[in-house]
Amino acid sequence: MSTAELPEKHPAEGDGVEAALEAVYSWNYDSEIEELRTLYGNALERQWIGLRDLDWAREIDREAFSDTISIGGFPIQETAFWQRLAPETRWEISRRSAAFMLSNFLHGEQGALMVAAQLVNAVPHMDGKFYAATQTLDEARHVEVFAAYIRKLDEVHEIAPSLKTLLDGVLSTEDWMKKAVGMQVVTEGLALYSFRDMRNATREPLLKELLTYVSRDEARHTGYGIKYLNAVVPTLSDEEKAELEDFAYESARLLVDSRAGTSMRESVLGLWREVGIDPLEAMGELAKERDTIRAAIASRGGRRGPIRGFVIPTLRSIGLFSDRIRSHFDEMFTANLGPAYAGLDDDPELPEDLEAWVESA
Ligand SMILES: [Fe+2]
Ligand SMILES: [Fe+2]
């Protein structure tokens, strides 16, 4: 796509949001939150160069790609329905669905880039500013590599409206802790979980390599949110904690609640129509294979999805998961998935070493 075509789909001007923050000086240059200073050191050690360190000369391996991309964690590739489709149709569905998903990752990365830069200004500790500076560079690199991969695959899709609303909210809140909860915990947590999922599922070499590099960075970013909030949440009043919890819930809801009709999965189904498959008919066919699908999910150790599998355990670990907010999540999962999915007691503990977890299958 040439830059001359960009303004139509992605206005170069006029697409902005009033961003608020207080720029806070820190006159103490000594380390106050040691863990953040260590994380900053790790980030410096682990820099990489997107266009040099990945092998971009490789073509995308179509077969490996169609075979292993699952849609929103749904193991469609293992169904007879999928096997009956012509290879060309499988490739088109995989390519377009992945381009849609990756485009939203890309736009999310841009949001993360801008929020990280805001955090340099807004956080009150020098350790936090140092770390956010490295994250800003990481996110620029992520924007660069996702855009490059999508360019090889298809074209950049527009941002999903719910993701845009979420990013607007995080950019425009004045409270740095809300920015940290909305971006570092909820959005980055969801991204880390989804990148890891996609990384483990795909056999497409370039995508796997890209997601490995990006996920290592994201593990640090999530770690930043967890370590920083762990240090400050205990000092907050109950009211302040409740406000942060509400912000976390609202951010998560925007990303996964299908009741609004704007969830990612529904947008992906729209893409099926483009390749001549009626999503309703397809769903009917897939319903007949419920047992196969269940077995496929079970064989992968079950599927909780990013919110239950990662975001909620994170909120719990930083003390932002009261019974009050838990009931909101419960209600959302029940409405979306049915009562069988309610009850949030068996959710996993947060992995101790996030970087190691990213690369474990
Ligand atoms: Fe990122
Ligand atoms: Fe990130």
120 Cα to the center of ligand 1, angstroms: 16
Q: What is the value of pTM for the model shown?
A: 0.90
φ, ψ (nearest 5 deg) of residue 74? -90, 120
Residue list, CB under 5 A from ion ligand 2: 112, 188, 218, 221
Distance 183 CA to ligand 2 centre (A): 8
> CA–CA separation, 65 vs 58, rounded Å?
13
Residue 13 has pLDDT above 80, yes or no: no
Q: Kindly report, residue by residue over 105-121, the tens digit of the pLDDT.
A: 999 999 999 999 999 99
CA 136 / ligand 1 centre spacing (Å)? 9
Query: Cα of 138 to ligand 1 centre, how many Å?
Result: 7
Q: What is the mean pLDDT of residues 152-163?
A: 89
Ligand nearest to the CA of 145: 1
pLDDT at 100 over 70: yes
The single residue listed with the structure tokens 């620029």 is: 140
Q: Is the dihedral of CA 148, 46, 313, 165 positive or negative?
A: negative
Q: How far apart are CA 257 and CA 254, in angstroms?
A: 6
Cβ neighbors of 100 (< 8 A, separation 6 or more) are 157, 264, 267, 268, 271
Whole-angstrom CA distances from 348 to 266, 302, 308, 314 are: 27, 12, 8, 10
Which domains are seen in the chain, by residue range?
34-358 (1.10.620.20)
Distance, in Å, from the CA atom of 122 to the CA atom of 291, rounded to the nearest integer, reads 51
Is pLDDT at 14 greater than 70 in this prediction?
no
Q: What is the CA(137)–ligand 1 centre distance, in A? A: 10
Per-residue confidence (pLDDT) for residue 19, from 0 to 100? 87
pLDDT over 80 (residue 268): no
- Å from CA of 333 to ligand 2 middle: 26
Give 112 Cα–ligand 1 centroid separation in angstroms: 6
Tell me the percentage of the chain whose pLDDT exceeds 90: 53
pLDDT tens per residue across span 303-361: 678 888 889 999 999 999 999 999 999 988 888 766 665 555 566 778 888 888 888 86
CA angle at residue 276 from 108 to 62, to 5 degrees? Answer: 60
Which ligand is closest in space to the CA of residue 218? 2
- Provide the pLDDT for residue 101: 87
Q: Could you tell me the distance, in angstroms and rounded to a whole number, from the CA of residue 81 to the centre of ligand 1?
A: 35
pLDDT at 105 (0 to 100): 93
Which ligand is located closest to the Cα atom of residue 189?
Answer: 2
42 CA to middle of ligand 2, Å? 15
Q: What is the per-residue pLDDT across 52-96, written as a single tens digit (0 to 9) for each?
A: 999 999 999 888 888 776 656 677 888 889 889 998 898 998 888
**Backbone torsions φ then ψ of 324, nearest 5 degrees:** -60, -50
307 Cα to the center of ligand 2, angstroms: 16
Are 286 and 79 in contact, with CB atoms under 8 Å apart? yes
Find the 139 Cα to ligand 2 centroid distance in Å.
6
List, for residues 114-144, the tens digit of each pLDDT value. Answer: 999 999 999 999 999 999 999 999 999 999 9
Count of C-beta atoms within a 10 Å radius of residue 60: 16
